[in-house]
Amino acid sequence: MYVPNHLKWRILLARELKLFYFERENSHRNCKRIFELYGRYLLGTTYDTFLNYLNQLKYEISGLKLPSYIIAAVALLEPLRIACERIRLRKGSASGSLPEIAEELLEVLRTKEGARVGTRYPSASFCEQEHGYGQDPVPPTASRQAQYP
């Protein structure tokens, strides 16, 4: 069944991907890279359809906005990809566990925070302060250490 709002959300997501990951040096190659890394999997479309979604004149969607948690997830795609790639290189072909991926993601965000001021990536300190990621929720105590040897 065709739902017109689904098309609008895909268009907004495609435009958000371009907004975060587009670099002006080689626009065609960058659009292709964005599509190959993320658009193919998130949108389920062809490259030509992805480019059509980016056409501001063809689709006018000014009244809709993506929820903030979707925008944050889009912003974390690249650091998350880098973190997973680092883990894969360290472990060989094995993928990491969720806690390992989260720790590596925080390391990537810390590195990007120092190296690329002005990017739209969420900062590692924001993730740690607002959501408690990367922090031990319960301080280690003797009773806790006895529970988990």
Instruction: Render pLDDT for 93-131 as a digit per residue (tens, 0 to 9).
Output: 777 788 888 999 999 998 875 454 444 545 444 444 444
Give the per-residue pLDDT at 6.
Answer: 83
CB under 8 Å to 88, separation ≥6 — which residues?
Answer: 94, 95, 96
Give the per-residue pLDDT at 96.
Answer: 79
**Residue boundaries of the structural domains of the chain:** 4-64, 77-131
Residues in the chain where the model's pLDDT stays below 70: 1-3, 113-149
Give the per-residue pLDDT at 55.
Answer: 85
CB–CB of 96/109 below 8 Å?
no
Give the per-residue pLDDT at 113.
Answer: 59
Give the per-residue pLDDT at 2.
Answer: 59
CB–CB of 9/45 below 8 Å?
no
Give the per-residue pLDDT at 131.
Answer: 40
Distance between the two ends of the chain, CA-based, in angstroms?
54
CB–CB of 60/117 below 8 Å?
no
